[in-house]
């Protein structure tokens, strides 16, 4: 009998049933950000010089159980200052990894210790949050998986990181991170979309897979489908849906995730394929070959995961409502904006590398978008007055979309707001601190699209 992950996890839970919070701290592991050679392009090309955590792309997958505390000491061996953000994890504010808001950037040769209590189970990821247009494009990211106490019964648990590289003919990363053309348009698009699949054993017919898809690209929106397997979507951005959903083509703004549970329908010799859809073409970006016949035991229905312990939103009708108007970019007609406390013409802004504004302000404003008390219900009306989509990410807490009929969408930490569209999100501000709220198209963030919220005790 082969031991599958479910059995392994069930086996360990018997031994370590004690919740880990409050247990004696184990010394933190070091995670080193450094340059290294890695195989990104096909074998006929040279290796690519990347920046990676522990020298790898992606960085090591961090995996722990809900309720545990993960500790990592970041050692910066890069030629630039850096910091790590734990995307989607509801961590204490001083662990959030945002230079200029929650910590000082970690200088070359220096260290910073992150202590991350894991409140939620789900699919998260970690990435650099300093000069991120460059640092994430060079490879500074990895998956962060938090296991449920009782994970669903599957034969494989597979992480698929969707990335987008801009490589030259020599397979080296093109060094044009500040390109104004990219920043004023849809961001820095690569020319080589790549899916990194976590190591796994062989896939057999009829097996049940959990697929965790993460868009780690700096700017590209990905349209993805799965062929050769059938099932349900069970989580968005790490947070379980109440009712597993059918899915076809999934849309991933930068930083967005989904968890799927699917049963293999492909036959021996075929493969489960991850397909990337472009305007008129489709590409296979990952394949899980089906090597042998598996048993045909009938699988049970795909069940919802237990909810994470988030504060439940009920009535949003008398929530504090905060407008956020996005302007700027190419064809946006921005006349002026405020930057570092000064009103500037659009030409002056461009000279500062600032192209986009939130409520007329480019870059991190001195005052928060809103200052609220812990426990307040906050509603943000996001009006996209630009001709580009934006993937808005809130740090520190997940939110729900307030839909047109007043009902609430699934919990998410990143929402894709299409061109000239208005969307509303709401959440209980239960995590005290200063939290960044920004476009996760990292070029747009660098070029102005960021603000913050203050949650006071
Ligand atoms: Cu994924 Cu502000 O970050
Ligand atoms: Cu954007």
**CA separation (Å) from 31 to 77, 102, 110, 140?**
10, 20, 12, 11
Atom of ligand 1 nearest to the CA of 87: 1
pLDDT score of 298: 77
- For 112-158, what is each residue's pLDDT tens digit? 999 999 999 999 999 999 999 999 999 999 999 999 999 999 999 99
Q: Please give the model's pTM, rounded to 2 decimal places.
A: 0.93
Taking the C-alpha atoms of residue 303 and residue 241, their distance in angstroms, rounded to an integer, is 10
**Is 17 a residue whose pLDDT tops 60?**
no
Check if 436 has its Cβ closer than 6 Å to any atom of ligand 1. yes
Which residue is closest in CA terms to ligand 1's atom 3? Answer: 87
Atom of ligand 1 nearest to the CA of 255: 1
pLDDT score of 18: 39
- For 349-368, what is each residue's pLDDT tens digit? 999 999 999 999 999 999 99
**Is 429 a residue whose pLDDT tops 70?**
yes
Check if 156 has its Cβ closer than 6 Å to any atom of ligand 1. no
Q: Which ligand is nearest to the CA of 326?
A: 2
pLDDT score of 333: 83
**Is 7 a residue whose pLDDT tops 60?**
no
- For 200-239, what is each residue's pLDDT tens digit? 899 999 999 999 999 999 999 999 999 999 999 999 999 9
Name the pairing type of β-strands 203-204 and 282-292.
parallel
| Contact (Cβ atoms closer than 8 angstroms) between residue 322 and residue 379 | yes
Check if 87 has its Cβ closer than 6 Å to any atom of ligand 1. yes
- For 294-349, what is each residue's pLDDT tens digit? 988 778 999 999 999 999 998 898 899 999 999 999 998 888 999 999 999 999 99
**CA separation (Å) from 136 to 173, 225, 280, 350?**
12, 24, 28, 23
pLDDT score of 25: 57
- For 275-292, what is each residue's pLDDT tens digit? 999 988 999 999 999 999
Check if 257 has its Cβ closer than 6 Å to any atom of ligand 1. no
- For 30-52, what is each residue's pLDDT tens digit? 999 999 999 999 999 999 999 99
Taking the C-alpha atoms of residue 397 and residue 413, their distance in angstroms, rounded to an integer, is 7
Atom of ligand 1 nearest to the CA of 125: 1
């Amino acid at each position: 009998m082969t031991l599958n992950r479910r059995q392994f996890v069930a086996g360990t839970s018997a031994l370590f049933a004690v919740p880990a919070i409050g247990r004696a701290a184990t010394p933190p592991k070091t995670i080193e950000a450094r340059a290294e050679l890695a195989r990104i392009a096909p074998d006929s090309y040279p290796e690519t010089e990347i920046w990676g955590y522990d020298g790898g792309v992606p960085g090591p997958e961090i995996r722990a159980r809900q309720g545990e505390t993960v500790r990592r000491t970041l050692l910066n061996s890069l030629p630039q200052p850096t910091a790590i953000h734990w995307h989607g994890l509801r961590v204490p504010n001083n662990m959030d990894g945002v230079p200029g808001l929650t910590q000082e950037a970690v200088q070359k040769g220096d260290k910073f210790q992150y202590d991350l209590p894991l409140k939620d189970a789900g699919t998260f990821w970690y990435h650099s949050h300093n000069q991120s247009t460059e640092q994430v494009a060079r490879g500074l990211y990895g998956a962060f998986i938090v296991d449920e106490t009782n994970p669903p019964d599957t034969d494989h648990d597979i992480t698929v990181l969707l990335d987008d590289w801009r490589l030259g003919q020599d397979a080296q990363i093109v060094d044009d991170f500040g390109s104004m053309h990219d920043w004023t348009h849809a961001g820095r698009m690569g020319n080589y979309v790549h899916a990194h699949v976590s190591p796994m054993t062989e896939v057999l017919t009829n097996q049940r897979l959990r697929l965790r898809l993460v868009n780690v690209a700096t700017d590209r929106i990905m349209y993805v489908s799965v062929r050769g397997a059938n099932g349900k979507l069970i989580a968005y951005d790490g947070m379980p849906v109440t009712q597993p959903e059918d899915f076809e083509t999934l849309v991933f703004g930068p930083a967005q995730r989904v968890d799927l549970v699917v049963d293999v329908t492909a036959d021996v010799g075929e493969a489960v394929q991850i397909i990337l859809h472009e305007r008129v073409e489709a590409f296979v970006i990952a394949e899980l070959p089906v090597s042998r016949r598996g048993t045909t035991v009938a699988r049970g229905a795909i069940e919802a995961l237990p909810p994470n312990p988030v504060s439940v939103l009920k009535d949003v009708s008398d929530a504090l409502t905060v407008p956020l108007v996005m302007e700027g970019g190419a064809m946006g007609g921005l006349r002026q904006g405020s930057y570092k406390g000064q009103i500037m013409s659009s030409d002056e802004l461009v000279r500062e590398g600032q192209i986009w504004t939130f409520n007329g302000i480019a870059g991190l404003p001195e005052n928060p978008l809103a200052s609220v008390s812990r426990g307040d219900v906050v509603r943000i009306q996001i009006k996209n007055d630009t001709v580009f989509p934006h993937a808005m990410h809130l740090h520190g807490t997940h939110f729900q979309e307030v839909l047109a009929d007043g009902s609430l969408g699934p919990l998410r930490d990143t929402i894709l707001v299409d061109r000239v569209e208005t969307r509303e999100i709401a959440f209980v501000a239960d995590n005290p601190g200063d939290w960044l709220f920004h476009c996760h198209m990292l070029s747009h963030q660098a070029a102005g699209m960021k603000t913050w919220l203050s949650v006071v005790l």
